[in-house]
Amino acid sequence: MSKPPTFVPPACARAERLVTERGEFAVLDARPARGERGTALLVPGYTGSKEDFIALLEPLAEAGFRVVAVDGRGQYETPGPADEAAYARPELAADVLAQVAAVRGP
């Protein structure tokens, strides 16, 4: 995980849990002050975390997007199974599809 200048999310973002059909994931959920233009789901790389996107949350929210930065399974604040098979690409892809469905945004 890269280390951003701060781990404190901007005022527009809240630390939450995203409940999906594949389990719960820790997220930072940033909302625009005025109408939403769409939703951006930010998914970190294999060794990353949602905090990798802290610098993007406020600018994207100011541009009118709801921004959801997620910890994948086994990343930072989202636990994951010990079984290595749970981290195969098809499993991780299924997690992302479940996250998209749970966010419910354009």
pLDDT, one tens digit for every residue, the chain (106 residues): 555 566 788 999 999 999 999 999 999 999 999 888 999 999 999 889 999 999 999 999 999 999 999 999 999 999 999 999 999 999 999 999 999 999 987 6
* HEC sequence for 75-89: CCCCCCCCCHHHHCH
Measure the CA–CA gap between 1 and 75, rounded to whole angstroms. 9
Q: Can you give the pLDDT at residue 49? A: 94
Phi, psi of 95 (to 5 degrees): -60, -45
Sheet with strand 65-70: strands edge to edge = 13-20, 23-30, 65-70, 38-42
* pTM: predicted TM-score of the whole model, two decimal places: 0.90
Specify the fold of 13-103.
Rossmann fold (3.40.50)
Contact 84, 39 (CB under 8 A): no
Q: What is the CA radius of gyration of the chain?
A: 13
Lookup result for tokens 């945004």: 105
Q: Where are the domains of the chain?
A: 13-103
